[in-house]
Amino acid sequence: MATTRAPLPRFPRDFLWGVSTSAHQIEGAADQRGPSVWDAFTALAGTVKDGTTAAVACDHVHRYRDDVALIRDLGVGAYRFSVSWPRVLPHGTGAVSERGLDFYDRLVDELCAAGVRPVPTLFHWDTPLAVEEAGGWLSRDTAHRFAEYAAVVAARIGDRVPKWITLNEPAEHTLLGHALGQHAPGRQLLFDALPVAHHQLLGHGLAVSALRAGGADDIGVANSHGPTWPASDDAADREAADLYDVLLNRMFSDPLIVGRYPEVIAEILGAEVPDLDGDLKVISAPIDWYGINFYQPTKVGAPRAEPTPTEFSGLTLPSGLPFSPRPIDGYPTTSFGWPVVPDALTELLLALRDRYADRLPPLLITENGCSYDGLDDQERISYLDGHLRALHRALEAGVDVRGYFVWSLLDNFEWAAGYAQRFGLVHVDYATQRRTPKASYGWLRRELLAQHAPGAGDPGPARG
């Protein structure tokens, strides 16, 4: 049953509204690209909860015109998608697949014809399997291969792409894929996974240089961030929360924004990386904006007295970690069990501004969304409404946020959760590939029409 809500507050007239997806989660057509680490990972028994793969997913490669029409009709100004590295370079390097590049050519043309800005992400976790077999992100060489790939993509579609994203969530790819083994490529290295974080960031810096050389002048990154709350005022809980915050947040924002790692990370990497200072100069090359993927805060305490595996956000954390995530009570949760805390987004944005001051680039919310079942998804509407109001409060407080992208346009393959979790504004029947806009799609469309309506309040000045 629909709930009557007050209209959203007025956002700046040049505020960028968009939706997001990723290649491996929606494209399908796996037989038309090289294999990735996710193909190898999902082929193993027990890695995906429902035993599925993304071989077909949403069949976006064949149905992209229908999906662009949904984006156009929604009324957003931009579409954040990812380019599949193994679709462009089946072996990760060397021979280019013209068929793969042609697909992105057609997609970008379709978006431009629909009046939608293409915003490609160059890496959303689907490392080519051949690159993984040569060492993957544990190898410094992968950063250079990534930059070569970035140059190939820019040469083909750069004339029509005004805004670029290098990496998506290097924190999750490091921690879930390489430290805990619950995402591809399935390594369980714990703290020995730190070079993966560094090599991704180095790849980002090298890709920025490659994109600049190709004429790009609007480049950012999409990092996941969320506030870390100590479980109590006890010193042990505060210390554990600070370490968690370093690993999930500051290990990725500090080098990009201020050109250095937090001290504990610098000490570890200093023994691993021959020229850490030189790499940090590459990593901290100026970017035009900084992307934030936000979903939830995390409460963290000291390790339990009797360490046992911990269930957290759909993951099983091993025993022996130097921190222990705790449940956040008193808030509704999504179908994934994630707490819905819109005020935490305001808290995060204000904290980033206060930490980095004038070093902080303009911000974009590159992902924000939730998993709920059903076509009449009033809970998703409440979630988006609450987070957009929280974002507006940060704008009123002076934080320079230039845009907001909903995750996700379509229900899709949700990594190790398979197809059980539905994040889309549009429902996908995976048996028939039928797309059905949900109530949240209609709500957002109406809100965007109101944002763009003349005389609907003072939109404030356009920003440079």
Instruction: Write the CB contacts of 333 (distance below 8 Å, at least 6 apart in sequence).
Output: 339, 340
Identify the band that residue 462 occupies on the pLDDT scale cut at 50, 70 and 90.
very low
Instruction: Write the CB contacts of 246 (distance below 8 Å, at least 6 apart in sequence).
Output: 262, 264, 265
Quick: pLDDT tens for 343-402.
999 999 999 999 999 999 999 999 999 999 999 999 999 999 999 999 999 999 999 999
Quick: pLDDT tens for 137-181.
999 999 999 999 999 999 999 999 999 999 999 999 999 999 999
Radius of gyration of the chain (CA): 21
Confidence at residue 359, expressed as pLDDT on a 0 to 100 scale = 98
367 noted as active-site residue? yes
Residue 461, pLDDT above cutoff 50: no
Confidence at residue 82, expressed as pLDDT on a 0 to 100 scale = 98
Q: Distance (Å, rounded) from C-alpha 238 to C-alpha 300?
A: 8
Identify the band that residue 312 occupies on the pLDDT scale cut at 50, 70 and 90.
low
Quick: pLDDT tens for 67-101.
999 999 999 999 999 999 999 999 999 999 999 99
Q: Distance (Å, rounded) from C-alpha 379 to C-alpha 404?
A: 19
Identified catalytic residue from 169, 379, 414, 447: 169
Interval 410-427 mean pLDDT: 98
Positive or negative torsion for Cα 306, 312, 315, 320: negative
Q: Is the peptide bond before 97 cis (omega within 30 degrees of 0)?
A: no
Helix, strand, coil share (%) of the chain residues, nearest 5:
45, 15, 40
Instruction: Write the CB contacts of 191 (distance below 8 Å, at least 6 apart in sequence).
Output: 179, 268
Length in residues, the chain: 464
169 noted as active-site residue? yes
Q: Which two tokens stand for residue 226?
A: 């969320």
Interval 314-324 mean pLDDT: 80
Q: Distance (Å, rounded) from C-alpha 100 to C-alpha 115?
A: 23
Q: Which two tokens stand for residue 102?
A: 């042609």
Helices vs strands, H then E, count in the chain: 16, 15
User: Is the pTM for the entire model greater than 0.85?
Assistant: yes
Q: Distance (Å, rounded) from C-alpha 357 to C-alpha 425?
A: 35
- Sorted by where each begins, the domain ranges of the chain are 16-451
Type of residue numbered 190? L
Confidence at residue 1, expressed as pLDDT on a 0 to 100 scale = 56
Confidence at residue 307, expressed as pLDDT on a 0 to 100 scale = 64
Calculate the average pLDDT of the chain.
Answer: 95
Identify the band that residue 454 occupies on the pLDDT scale cut at 50, 70 and 90.
confident
Residue 456, pLDDT above cutoff 60: no
Least confident residue range of 56-65, 227-236, 303-312, 346-355? 303-312
Instruction: Write the CB contacts of 415 (distance below 8 Å, at least 6 apart in sequence).
Output: 25, 38, 48, 183
Quick: pLDDT tens for 230-268.
999 999 999 999 999 999 999 999 999 999 999 999 999
Tell me if 172 sits within 8 A of 107, measured CB to CB: no
Type of residue numbered 48? V
Q: Distance (Å, rounded) from C-alpha 363 to C-alpha 375?
A: 32
φ/ψ bin of 337: left (φ > 0), alpha (ψ from -120 to 50), beta (otherwise): left
- Domain 16-451 belongs to what topology? TIM Barrel (3.20.20)
Interval 13-41 mean pLDDT: 98
Q: Which two tokens stand for residue 305?
A: 């007295």
Q: Is the peptide bond before 185 cis (omega within 30 degrees of 0)?
A: yes
Confidence at residue 308, expressed as pLDDT on a 0 to 100 scale = 65
Quick: pLDDT tens for 435-453.
999 999 999 999 999 999 8
Tell me if 220 sits within 8 A of 288, measured CB to CB: yes
Identify the band that residue 4 occupies on the pLDDT scale cut at 50, 70 and 90.
confident
Q: Distance (Å, rounded) from C-alpha 335 to C-alpha 339?
A: 10
H-state helical runs in 261-411: 263-270, 276-283, 343-356, 378-396
Match 């009570």 to its residue by tokens: 329
Q: Distance (Å, rounded) from C-alpha 263 to C-alpha 268?
A: 9
Confidence at residue 464, expressed as pLDDT on a 0 to 100 scale = 37
Residue 317, pLDDT above cutoff 90: no
Identified catalytic residue from 27, 110, 367, 414: 367
pLDDT-above-90 percentage for the chain: 92
Instruction: Write the CB contacts of 321 (distance below 8 Å, at least 6 apart in sequence).
Output: 190, 303, 307
